[in-house]
């Protein structure tokens, strides 16, 4: 029988909200899918498109970016810019038919440990269903 597919998911979490949310999920012992590898960034706006694209090309089956809710960014406007940039990248993956569902942006506050767990678990389920990312396995890229 074939080995069950376990995805590699990269999570870029902003330090002030989503990372703290992840912490809360951990300290309140909520079950979180272990396929997410967390990278802490200072703000969701730190995540430029190359970080997401290189993740997708170099081994990730999915990429989750998470930051403070709009209006709550520690740097005031960071997540507004992040949202625009994400909309742009998402559109590119759509036009080129590059499985846009493999990338996701979510707002998760420091008090939303439960939401954090739900989002990660759902995303992990979705990506598992999609299977391995063809981009990371192509030897001609």
Partner 1 sequence: MAKAVKIKKKTEEGLHDFLKSLLDKEIIKGVFILKKMDKTGAVSYSLITDPEEFKKAVPLYPYMPVNAGKALANFTLLGKAEQPIAAILRPCEIRAFVELVKRTQGDFENFLIISLTCGGVLTLKTISEPDQDKLISQYWESVKKAEVFEHTREACQFCEHFLPLNADITVAAVGKKDLDEECLLFLNTPKGEKFAQEASGSSVSEEIETEKVQQLKKKREELKEKYVQQTETGETGMKSLVNVFAPCLGCHGCSHVCPICYCTLCEFDSKTLQYNADGLSSDLKRKGGLKVPSGNLLFHLGRMTHMAVSCISCGMCSDVCPVNIPVATVFSKAGKSLQKVFDYFPGKDAEEPVPGGTYKEEEFAEIGEQ
The site for ligand FES (CB under 6 A) is made up of 14, 16-17, 43-45, 67-68, 73-75, 78-79
**Which of 39, 16, 41 lies closest to 111, judged by CA?**
16
The Cα–Cα gap between 90 and 135 comes to 16
Q: What residue is closest to ligand FES based on CB?
A: 67
For ligand FES, the closer CB: 51 or 98? 51
Q: Which does 90 bind (CB under 5 to 8 A by kind): partner 1, ligand FES, none?
A: partner 1
Q: Which does 78 bind (CB under 5 to 8 A by kind): ligand FES, partner 1, none?
A: ligand FES
Q: Which token pair is 124?
A: 């992990």
Smallest distance, Å, CB 123 to partner 1?
9
Smallest distance, Å, CB 107 to partner 1?
4
Strand 36-41 with 9-14, pairing: parallel
| Inter-residue contact 46 to 86 (CB < 8 Å) | no
The Cα–Cα gap between 141 and 137 comes to 9
Smallest distance, Å, CB 54 to partner 1?
6
For partner 1, the closer CB: 27 or 83? 83
| Inter-residue contact 133 to 57 (CB < 8 Å) | no
| Inter-residue contact 61 to 133 (CB < 8 Å) | yes
What's CA 3's distance to the chain center, in Å?
Answer: 25
Q: Which does 87 bind (CB under 5 to 8 A by kind): ligand FES, partner 1, none?
A: partner 1
Q: Which does 64 bind (CB under 5 to 8 A by kind): partner 1, ligand FES, none?
A: none
């Amino acid at each position: 029988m074939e080995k069950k597919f376990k995805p590699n998911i990269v999570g870029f979490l902003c330090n002030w909200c989503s990372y703290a949310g992840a912490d809360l999920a951990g300290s309140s012992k909520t079950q979180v899918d272990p396929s997410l590898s967390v990278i802490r960034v200072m703000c969701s706006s730190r995540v430029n498109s190359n970080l997401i694209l290189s993740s997708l090309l170099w081994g990730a089956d999915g990429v989750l970016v998470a930051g403070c809710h709009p209006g709550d960014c520690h740097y005031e406007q960071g997540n507004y810019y992040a949202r625009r940039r994400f909309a742009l990248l998402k559109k590119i993956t759509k036009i080129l038919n590059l499985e846009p569902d493999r990338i996701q942006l979510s707002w998760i506050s420091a008090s939303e440990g439960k939401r954090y767990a739900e989002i990660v678990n759902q995303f992990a389920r979705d990506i598992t269903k999609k299977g391995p990312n063809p981009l990371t396995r192509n030897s001609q890229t």
